[in-house]
């Protein structure tokens, strides 16, 4: 199961999937690893290696059938059903995520936003309801929610994260500026805008170009 723990592989598979949709829209029915690699910014051998980890094979002469390849990737990402997600933190970032329409294209549905501030919960006119944080645990359990986005201040991030885990959340995308550790029952990915921007500033100031994002890790 080690292959499932490699976030870089999963990230590349998602990029392959998006590129394949673009090729299909252009009228392509088949694709070679060379073209897909160039579109995504990796080597052809990396494409084939990533696919082989999930028993996805092509034909040396004919390449990959795009529809079949997309079907397998969609199954891998469970895109045959809607993925329900909650947001914890109804600040500007949380609000922006709750109104982002691009999620629907990926079959991701933001079903609720939770916040400790009662004034944000009363009379909310947003498409996604804002609920009191005290209702989060019961909502997660009753709706069978497994995924959450965390956009709370640093000082309460760990506490809220633990509450999400206790309620049954199995995956958290963390935007709080503090690293959170994955557990045996929940995997967390932390994205710190400040850190990413500082890293970008460093490489720009050093005059280093032609690097893939993964090379900067």
Joined tokens for residue 110: 């933001």
d(CA 171, CA 106): 17
Q: Kindly state whether residue 122 falls inside one of the protein's structural domains.
A: yes
Looking at the fold, whether 88 and 162 belong to one and the same domain comes out as yes
The pLDDT of residue 104 is: 80
Q: Kindly state whether residue 173 falls inside one of the protein's structural domains.
A: yes
Q: Kindly state whether residue 30 falls inside one of the protein's structural domains.
A: yes
Residue 6, classed as helix, strand or coil, is coil
- For residues 170 and 197, the answer to whether their CB atoms sit within 8 Å is no
Q: Kindly state whether residue 65 falls inside one of the protein's structural domains.
A: yes
Q: Which domain holds residue 161?
A: 83-195
Looking at the fold, whether 70 and 98 belong to one and the same domain comes out as no
- For residues 158 and 175, the answer to whether their CB atoms sit within 8 Å is no
Looking at the fold, whether 178 and 97 belong to one and the same domain comes out as yes
Residues 3-33: pLDDT tens digits?
444 778 888 998 899 899 999 999 999 999 9
Looking at the fold, whether 129 and 49 belong to one and the same domain comes out as no
d(CA 157, CA 139): 19
The pLDDT of residue 209 is: 56
Residue 96, classed as helix, strand or coil, is helix
Looking at the fold, whether 190 and 100 belong to one and the same domain comes out as yes
215 has pLDDT over 70: no
Looking at the fold, whether 114 and 70 belong to one and the same domain comes out as no
1 has pLDDT over 50: no
d(CA 66, CA 157): 42
Domain count across the chain: 2
Looking at the fold, whether 71 and 91 belong to one and the same domain comes out as no
For the chain, counts of helices (H) and of strands (E): 10, 8
Residue finishing a domain among 42, 76, 110: 76
Looking at the fold, whether 108 and 169 belong to one and the same domain comes out as yes
Looking at the fold, whether 94 and 63 belong to one and the same domain comes out as no
Looking at the fold, whether 176 and 94 belong to one and the same domain comes out as yes
| Mean per-residue pLDDT of the chain | 86
Looking at the fold, whether 100 and 179 belong to one and the same domain comes out as yes
Looking at the fold, whether 108 and 176 belong to one and the same domain comes out as yes
CATH number of the CATH domain containing 98 = 3.40.50.720
Residue 135, classed as helix, strand or coil, is helix
120 has pLDDT over 50: yes
CATH number of the CATH domain containing 54 = 1.10.10.10
Q: Kindly state whether residue 152 falls inside one of the protein's structural domains.
A: yes
């Amino acid at each position: 199961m080690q292959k499932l723990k490699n976030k870089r592989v999963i990230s590349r598979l998602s990029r392959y999937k998006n590129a394949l949709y673009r090729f299909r829209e252009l009228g392509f029915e088949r694709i070679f690893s060379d073209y897909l690699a160039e579109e995504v910014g990796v080597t052809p051998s990396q494409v084939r290696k990533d696919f082989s980890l999930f028993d996805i094979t092509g034909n040396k002469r004919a390449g990959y059938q795009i529809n079949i390849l997309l079907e397998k990737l969609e199954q891998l990402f469970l895109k045959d059903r809607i993925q329900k997600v909650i947001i914890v933190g109804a600040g500007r970032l949380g609000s922006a995520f709750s109104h982002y329409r691009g999620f629907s294209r990926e079959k991701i549905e933001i079903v609720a936003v939770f916040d400790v501030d009662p004034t944000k919960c009363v009379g909310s006119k947003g498409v996604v309801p804002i609920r009191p944080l005290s209702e989060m645990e019961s909502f997660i359990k009753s709706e069978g929610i497994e995924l959450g986005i965390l956009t709370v201040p640093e000082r309460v991030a760990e506490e809220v994260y633990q509450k999400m885990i206790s309620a049954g959340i199995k995956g958290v995308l963390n935007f709080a500026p503090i690293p959170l550790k994955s557990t045996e029952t929940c995997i967390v990915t932390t994205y710190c805008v400040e850190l990413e921007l500082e890293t970008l500033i460093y490489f720009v100031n050093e005059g280093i170009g032609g690097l893939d994002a993964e090379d900067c890790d």
